[in-house]
A and B are shown apart, each in its own frame.
Chain A
Amino acid sequence: MALLPKNISFSRQVLPVIALLGLVFAVFFIWNGLPDRELSEPDQEPPRATGELAYENRVAGAGVVEPSSEVIQLGTALSGLVTDLRVQPGDFVEKGEPLFTVDTRAIRSQLAQANSAIGEARAAIAEAQAAQSTASRQLALYRNVDDPAAVSRAEVIRAEGDVSAANGRLQLARARLQAAQATAQTARTEIGRATVRAPIAGQILAVNIRPGEFLSTMGGGGAPFIEMGETRPLHVRIDIDEEQASRVDLGASAIISPRGAANSQVKASFIRAEPLVVPKRSLTNSASERVDVRVLQVIYQLPEGDSRFRVGQQVDAFIPAAKTADSE
C-alpha cells in the first residue's frame, strides 16, 4: 500500500469505492445488455383486411387473376407447318379475326385438281349435250317421216337408243360435275379450316408457335398454341378452404390485393361461385403433388382499367363472412 498516500486506506476507502463503482457499472451494463425483444412493425405492408372488414367476421382466400372468358387455349383443326402468324401477345382481336394459318399447299393442289375435274366435267356435259341434240334431232326426223316404208323399224329403235344413251351420258357428265364441285368445295373448306380464327373478341395472352413450326392436331407439344381471353374486365378466381366455405357471404364484394402490393387494394364484385368443389392446386412446383384439401372457387370481377392486375397473377382476398354463420 506504499503507492497510496498515508491517510488513505486501501481496504477502508479504495475498495468500497471500487465495489460501488463496479456495482454502478454492472447496473449500467445489465441495463444495456438486456435483449431487444420489443415487437416491431413489419417494414413492408402485409396483406390485411381494411375498412369495415378489419374488425368484422371475414373469410380469407388466395386466388389467381383470369380473363372474364377464362383462358381459351386455341388448337388447330389441321396439322401442318405454320405458314402465317398474324398476332402477337397483347393484341386485341375481334371475333373471327384470323390468327394463324397452317400449310395449305397440298389442299390447294387438291382444289386445282378438283377445278380441272370441273372443267373436264363441263366439257363432257357440252359433248354429251351435243350428242344428245344430234340424236334427238335424228329421232325427231325419223318420227316425222309418215311413210313407214321409208324408215325401217330398226333405224327408229337405234335412234331411240342413241337418244337415251346420250341422255345417260349427259346425266353422267352432270354427276361428274357435281362430284368435282363437291371435291372443290371440300378443298375450299379445308383451306378455311387451315386458318385459325378468334372464337371471341379478346386479348392474345400467349403465343407459343412461330412460323415454320409443325403443329399436330394430337396436341402433345405441351404448351397450347395460342392462349387468349377477354380481359375487359378481368376476373379473379378465389380458392376458399372447404371448411370455411359455409361462412362466405356469397354475393358480397371482396377486397383484393395483388401479391407483393398489399397496400393497393380494390373492391371486386361477386360474379358466381363454382358449383364444383375441386382439389386445391398448390403452386409448389412439385412433380408428385398430392392434395387432401378441397376448395370452393368463387369468381369476382375486378374493376376495369386497373393495370396492376395481370392474368395469372396471384392475389389475396378478404370476403365478408355471412352474418348467420358467425352469430352462433
Chain B
Amino acid sequence: MIWIAIRMLTGDRQKFYGLLFGIAFSTLLITQQLTIFVNLIERGASGVYNVSSADVWVMDPVSRTTDVAYAMPSTALDKVRGVKGVEWAVPHLRANASVRTKDGDLEGVAVIGVDDATLIGLPKSMVEGSTDVLSQPDAVIIDDVGTTRMFPGESPIGERLELNDQRAVVRGIADAIPSFTSTVVLYTKYSQALRYVPGTRNRLSFVLVGAADGVEAKSLSDSIEEQTGLKAQTRDEFARDGVQFIIENTGIPLNFGITVLLGFIVGVAIVGLTFSLFIRDNIKQFGALKAIGVTNGKIARMVAAQAAMVGLIGYGLGVLGTVGFIYGFSNNPTFKGFYIPWQIPLISFAAMVLIIALTGWIALRGVMKTEPAAVFR
C-alpha cells in the first residue's frame, strides 16, 4: 500500500521535483543563513575562544568585550594571584595601534601582548613558525587572515613593520579565528606590546586565570570579584558577552532573522501549494482506493509516507547543499573558521517537519472528505 503511495508520488515527475526543490531550497535557505548568522555573531567571541587555556578572564568593571576594554593598574595581576583557587594568572594586553608597512601604508591593527614567560594567550596552533619565535628581538606573530589582508599573495615572514616608532618583524603566522571586523592581529610579548602601544598610565587589559584542580570556573570568578573588586567572567560568559555586544550594536540579527523567515515562507508556499495540488490531482485515485475498502487511516498513512519521502530527500539535499557551501568556501578568509553548529540542522529539520505536517494535514482534509463515488464523477 505504501509502495503504491510512493509510485503515485514519483509518477508525476514535475510535481515530485517541484516538491523536492521547494523543500531542499527552503532547507538550504534556513540552514545556510542560520549557519552564517551564528558564525558571524560568534566572531564577537573569537577573541575569547582563541585563548585556549584561560578559565576566567578578569577585567576592569567597565570592560565589556575583548575589544572594548579599559586598562587596569599592573598590580591587578597580583591581586588576582592572591585569590584562593587561582592556580595561575598572567597579564594580557589588547590594544589598537597603527602600523606602517614597508610601503609606507597605514593599517590599523590589534596588538595582543601575551605573558612573556609562558606565552599564555596565543592561539592554540600556528600556520607557520613556532611560538618560540617571540623570544627573538622585535618579533611579532601575525594572524592568518591578517596576512591575506596586509600581505596579499606574499609570505609575511621576515617583513618589517613600524609600530609606534618601534621596529617589528613578522616571524610567524598564527592559526586564529578572525574578529568581527577582521582586524589584522599582531601577537607579541607583553613587555614588547607595552612599547608598541602608545603609552597611557595603565596598560593591563585583562588578567587570564587558570583555575586550580577541582575549582569551578564560576565559583572562582565569583570569589575573584568579591576579593578584588574587579570584574571576572568565565570563558563562556565572556564569549557570550562578545556575542551579545554584536547583537546589541549591529543590525545582523534582524537582517538574518528576516532571511530565515523568508526561507520559511518560501518553503511553506512552494511545498504547501505543490503538495496540496498534488493531493488534489490524485483525489480520484484516493477515491478509488476508498472504493475498494481502504480506510481513512491507511490513506493518512499513505500521505504521511509520501510527505516523509519528499521531506527526507528534500531535507537531505538541502543540508548537503549547506555542507557543500561551507566546504566550498572554507578556504576563503572571509569564512575562516565557519562551522555548522549541530543544532542548526535540527532546527531546520523541525521547520521542515512543521511545513510538511502543516501542508500535508491541510491536503489530507480534502482526501478524508472524499466519497468513494468521487472516482466516478
From B82, B85, B88, B320, A22 is in contact (CB under 8 Å) with B320
Given A15-B313, A55-B212, A293-B73, A30:B342 Cβ within 8 A: yes
The answer to whether A280 and B52 touch across the interface, beta carbons within 8 angstroms, is: no
Given A16-B313, A35-B49, A40-B53, A26:B78 Cβ within 8 A: no
From B13, B52, B235, A11 is in contact (CB under 8 Å) with B13
Choose among B17, B309, B319, B322 the residue with the greatest number of A CB atoms under 10 Å from its CB: B319
Interface string of B301-336 (1 = CB under 8 A from A): 000000001001111110110110011000000000
Q: Which partner residue on chain A sits nearest B76 by CB separation? A: A241
Interface string of A49-86 (1 = CB under 8 A from B): 10000111111111000000000000000000000000
Given A39-B55, A259-B116, A285-B194, A292:B75 Cβ within 8 A: no
- Whether A144 sits at the interface, judged by CB under 8 Å, is no
- Whether B372 sits at the interface, judged by CB under 8 Å, is no
Complex CA–CA separation, A27 to B322 (angstroms)? 12
Interface string of B115-140 (1 = CB under 8 A from A): 11111100010000001000000000
Chain B residues with CB under 8 A of A45: 118
Given A19-B313, A55-B85, A293-B73, A33:B199 Cβ within 8 A: no
Complex CA–CA separation, A188 to B171 (angstroms)? 63
The answer to whether A19 and B340 touch across the interface, beta carbons within 8 angstroms, is: no
Give the distance to chain B from A27, nearest Cβ to Cβ, in Å.
Answer: 8
From B6, B74, B177, B199, A280 is in contact (CB under 8 Å) with B74
Interface string of A23-38 (1 = CB under 8 A from B): 1011001110111111
Given A31-B342, A44-B119, A46-B88, A295:B75 Cβ within 8 A: yes
- Whether A201 sits at the interface, judged by CB under 8 Å, is no
The answer to whether B203 and A244 touch across the interface, beta carbons within 8 angstroms, is: no
From B52, B81, B82, B90, A39 is in contact (CB under 8 Å) with B52
Complex CA–CA separation, A288 to B315 (angstroms)? 65
Could you list 16 further interchain pairs (A-B, Cβ under 8 angstroms) beyond the known A16-B313, A22-B323?
Answer: A11-B10, A11-B16, A20-B312, A23-B315, A26-B316, A26-B322, A44-B119, A45-B118, A46-B89, A49-B81, A54-B212, A240-B78, A244-B78, A262-B118, A284-B194, A286-B194
- Whether A321 sits at the interface, judged by CB under 8 Å, is yes
- Whether B102 sits at the interface, judged by CB under 8 Å, is no
Interface size on B, residues (CB 8 A): 62
The answer to whether A18 and B49 touch across the interface, beta carbons within 8 angstroms, is: no
Give the distance to chain B from A54, nearest Cβ to Cβ, in Å.
Answer: 6
- Whether A41 sits at the interface, judged by CB under 8 Å, is yes
Chain A residues with CB under 8 A of B326: 29, 33
- Whether B201 sits at the interface, judged by CB under 8 Å, is yes
- Whether A142 sits at the interface, judged by CB under 8 Å, is no
**Which size class do A's interface residues fall under?**
35 or more
The answer to whether B87 and A18 touch across the interface, beta carbons within 8 angstroms, is: no
- Whether A147 sits at the interface, judged by CB under 8 Å, is no
29 A-B interface contacts by CB (under 8 A) = A18-B317, A19-B312, A19-B320, A20-B316, A22-B316, A26-B345, A29-B340, A30-B339, A42-B53, A46-B89, A46-B118, A46-B120, A47-B117, A54-B87, A58-B82, A58-B84, A59-B78, A60-B77, A60-B78, A62-B77, A239-B78, A244-B78, A284-B194, A284-B203, A285-B194, A292-B73, A292-B201, A293-B75, A321-B82
